[in-house]
């Protein structure tokens, strides 16, 4: 049995997120269907994390076990023939039998993009949040830096089935930055891991800062842990998972 990892990119617009859901199109479901055709039997796929419905990815990792002896580059080509055009396999590699794309990851990076002009180009509308209304972008940029460090992000997490296990919602954010680039307002965050809807809630908070409805002092309270809750999350289409990092071999 071979342990294979693949690097994926996808347009999440037409999918109900990563995780398999009965009767719904998902990234994991499409991968498992394609691999079953190659293997001749079901192939469970593990991902580096779960993206929400409508969220995109430039570089995420998935892994699975395979009996098929096909060379990894031929496997990449075969998967791209079987997968829908919105999902592409960038590379494939042999891994140790113990490799897990989620538990072995040491950092993940996300980026949220807001289109600030009155008219949003139609070819960008699936990949940005269109918000042409007034925002104090300098205040947003200053607040974004305050996410860096180790904090309890309970206030920035949506309810999850795993909550009953009482797992810690403390996460380490290594870098957090918001900047303007022409018509786009970009928020990029790199951390040890992320909770359900966490980045979208972080962006939602920053938008409220831009509107003057929240302040850095409010963020200090939210990062102190429960029972406070962050504002409504930002729309999914503006979010892209940029990369997942692993220890050097």
Q: Using the Cα atoms of residue 161, residue 157, residue 190 and residue 50 in order, give the sign of their dihedral.
A: positive
Tell me where in the chain the CATH 3.30.70.580 domain(s) lie: 2-95
Active site residues: 52
- Please report, in tens digits, the pLDDT of each residue of the chain (249 residues total): 999 999 999 999 999 999 999 999 999 999 999 999 999 999 999 999 888 889 999 999 999 999 999 999 999 999 999 999 999 999 999 999 999 999 999 999 999 999 999 999 999 999 999 999 999 999 999 999 999 999 999 889 887 666 656 688 899 999 999 999 999 999 999 999 999 899 999 999 999 999 999 988 888 888 877 667 776 899 999 999 999 999 976
Whether this prediction's pTM lies above 0.85 is answered by yes
Backbone angles phi, psi at 142, to 5 degrees: -65, -40
CATH class name, domain 107-245: alpha beta
Angle between helices 198-211 and 137-144 in degrees, nearest 10: 140
Fold of 2-95: Alpha-Beta Plaits (3.30.70)
Tell me where in the chain the CATH 3.30.70.660 domain(s) lie: 107-245
């Amino acid at each position: 049995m071979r342990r294979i990892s693949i690097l994926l990119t996808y347009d999440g617009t037409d999918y109900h997120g990563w995780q398999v859901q009965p009767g719904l199109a998902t990234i994991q479901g499409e991968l498992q269907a394609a691999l079953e055709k190659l293997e001749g039997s079901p192939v469970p796929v593990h991902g580096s994390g779960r993206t929400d419905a409508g969220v995109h990815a430039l570089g995420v990792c998935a892994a699975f076990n395979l009996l098929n002896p096909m060379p990894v580059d031929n496997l990449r080509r075969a998967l791209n023939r079987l997968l829908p055009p919105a999902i592409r396999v960038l590379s494939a590699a042999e891994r140790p039998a113990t490799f897990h794309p989620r538990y072995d990851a040491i950092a993940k990076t996300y980026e949220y993009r807001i289109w600030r002009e009155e008219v949003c180009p139609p070819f960008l509308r699936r990949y940005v949040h269109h918000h042409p209304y007034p925002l104090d972008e300098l205040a947003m940029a200053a607040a974004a830096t305050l996410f860096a460090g180790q904090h309890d992000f309970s206030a920035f997490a949506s309810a999850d089935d795993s909550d009953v296990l009482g797992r810690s919602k403390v996460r380490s954010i290594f870098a957090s930055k918001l900047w303007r680039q022409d018509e786009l307002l970009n928020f990029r965050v790199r951390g040890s891991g992320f909770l359900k809807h966490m980045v979208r809630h972080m962006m939602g908070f920053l938008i409220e800062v831009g509107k003057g409805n929240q302040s850095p002092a409010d963020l200090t309270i939210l990062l102190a842990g429960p029972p406070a809750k962050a504002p409504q999350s930002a729309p999914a289409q503006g979010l892209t998972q940029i990369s997942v990092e692993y220890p050097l071999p």
